[in-house]
Structure 1
Amino acid sequence: MLGIDNINDYYDTSLKLDRLGILKRHQNFSFVRGSLENLELLESLFEQNDIDIVVNLAAQPGVRYSFKNPQSYIQSNLVGFANILECCKKQPIKHLIYASSSSVYGNNKKAPSSVTDRVDQPISLYAATKKANELMAYTYSHIYKLPTTGLRFFTVYGPWGRPDMAAIKFSNAIINHQPIEVYNYGKMKRDFTYIDDVIESVFRLIKKGPPSEAVSFHKIYNIGNHQPVELNNFIQLLEKHLDKKAVLKLLPLQPGEVLETFADIEELANDINYTPTTTIEEGINKFTKWFKAYKKLP
């Protein structure tokens, strides 16, 4: 198994290196530090290794950061993904699985969100790049018969998560007695999906194999918990398991943010015989245990 990451400084690299340290314990794992935007590097890696399945989870993430640094999204999410597609086409590989996002649904009023819903009105540049990835993948599947599967992830959380996401961001604020910026006064809902359920879903999709010509060699799934949780309730659970009260700074809805995410996962369940099962209470309990251990808290 070959991994590639540029270990950029979008957030604390020590967390990234600690994650990488876990992977390096496995004898069949090798790592290359580099960027997907470097086509020459990618081509050499594909030529030198017997690659049959590609799982592309790399991207410049985050809705709010896209307002500050749009160019990083163009380079990472569009140029980088185009390079992945080109290398997969030339190899050719058996199956490309790639990360999309629930952000592509924007502020669609229909709930739960289905993969058959229209997603042509993104409300952030990040969402626009993820929708573009889906269109690019479909085009390569149609023209070159490259099997591709896109995964619309719904607010993934758990141990080793990104520190700009709610779980770690809010937990850091709580233990340091710092205010949490709570948008739309906490009246937003997110379909929080625990990392173990995400991993199991991806693993089963790998085992299932690529989509066939019957679906134009291209498939999209929602990866969600199918249980939206109000942000205020999410914070209350963190307070409970960290045994500290949060300092809340209540603010109006921020540009680019959606009011609710809610995944229709019927198609995923039918195709891989699996439905995410981790409740928010169980997930927060597991997350906070890891968080306190990682931070060396009592």
Structure 2
Amino acid sequence: MFERKIAIIGCGAIGSILAKSIDEGNAGNTELRVLFDLQRKRAEELAGEISTSSRVADEIEDVLDDDEVDLVVEAASQEAVSEYSVDVLRSGKDLIILSIGAFSDQKLLSEVREAAEDSGQFVYLPSGAILGVDGIQAAEIAGFEEAVLTTRKSPETLSKTKFVRENDIDLSGLTEPRVVFEGPASEAVEAFPESVNVAATLSLAGSGFQDTRVKIVADPSLDQNVHEIKVRGEAGEFTTKAMNFPSPENPKTSYIAALSAIRTLRNLTGPIWIGA
């Protein structure tokens, strides 16, 4: 099997799960070489929690200049995607991006695509917190008539969002589900940056940010996030529903998002790739 030598940018919840999975041999034929975080102490603490001898980078150039690293995993932020992606690709390394919401910026998406094409490198976007991305991509070839993402969260969670506060939406005492936003993904990613990765993944896999509809619902019966996707087109009608449990490392992160990154590494280093 093909071995990949990994650098991780971002040592928070997902980066930590991924690093420990690589260290335990659960992320395919991979070797963790470098950890980088703007908060160096966080990278140092993570390095101390794993048995593999991994170098802590002082700056991003330490990652770019490491000729042994051939795959970089971004697990930091949308800002990190914007700042580092093009340089990573131009340094001759493939790139896994987890903060997919950064690509709601079409200019950035074009720049990253161009850098990948020019350098001959690849960019991988794991499916993250939603299900059925392979089917969505396949169905999109025949064309969509409708693509809708409905995200349901507790009123308590949504009441803390900037959109709800700025629009004076009162979710206190809610006894039944209430729609707090409905519109194209292009508007949803600005209104609800907390859900931008999910909306961006569906938009990129399907018919784009303008033609993908997003509905955000406050549901008092929930204590976890629910993402439901409905796609209708020439290939048929498909519905997926994910009720995600929080990460054991950070309750604000869906566990499945970290597991999706681990599966991507397994796919990249294994002899058989299942799915579209």
Which of the five TM-score ranges fits, normalised by the shorter chain?
Answer: 0.3 to 0.5
- TM-score of the superposed pair, with normalisation by structure 1: 0.39
Structure with more of its chain in strand, by fraction: 2
Q: Which structure has the higher relative contact order (CA within 8 Å, separation 6+)?
A: 2
Structure with more of its chain in helix, by fraction: 1
- TM-score of the superposed pair, with normalisation by structure 2: 0.41
